[in-house]
Amino acid sequence: MTSPKNHFTPANLIYAVKCVIGVIICFILYTSFPQYPFNWALVSVVLALSPDNSNSQAIGRMVANLLGCGVGLCIYPIHLPGVVLLCLGVILVIGMAFSLKLTANLRSALSAIVIVMLQEEKVKHWYVPMERVLCVITGCVVALLLTLLFNLLFKGLKQDDELLNT
């Protein structure tokens, strides 16, 4: 019988702390500026953070979010039914992510396109996707800055974690 593996590693604890700090920062924005859709920053920050602690992965997730936002902004003005536009956006994001070799972060890009393209109102307003893009990017920037900061603060932890797992 094997003993259960300890899931409360220092790296997992740091990931949880990063997520909580990211949520707090974005929640402060959400409550401080209720006229803007910072609820999407909350979604974005938890999607963009990852337990892997890799700076390049954090940047990759941000680039993928920018791809999804960019595609959403480009196709938003097209006059087609919402579900058709959303499907078109998903197809374009997937195709572009494969061609740009962003497949490891494809879920972030797809989340961004959905956030930008969802339309609750009957009349399409040009500023709605722009506000959402800015809020998604805000969440990504918070996640990126937290990743970079925590990697600087705890750069020796990764090496210690590797030693413990060998």
Q: What is the DSSP string of 55-75?
A: HHHHHHHHHHHHHHHHHHHHH
Kindly give the confidence (pLDDT) of every residue in the chain, 166 residues in length, as a single tens digit, with 9 standing for 90 and above: 555 566 778 888 889 999 999 999 999 999 999 999 999 999 999 989 988 878 888 888 899 999 999 999 999 999 898 899 999 999 999 999 999 998 999 999 999 999 999 876 666 778 889 999 999 999 999 999 999 999 888 776 555 454 444 4
In a domain, 115, yes or no: yes
Domain region containing 94:
10-159
Our count of domains for the chain comes to: 1
Q: What is the rounded distance in angstroms from the CA atom of residue 49 to the CA atom of residue 105?
A: 11
Structural domain contains residue 136:
yes
DSSP code, position 3: P
Handedness of CA 104, 109, 111, 112 (dihedral sign): positive
Q: Residue 37 in 3-state DSSP? A: coil
Is position 1 within any domain?
A: no
Q: Assess if residue 122 is contained within a domain.
A: yes
pTM above 0.85, yes or no: no
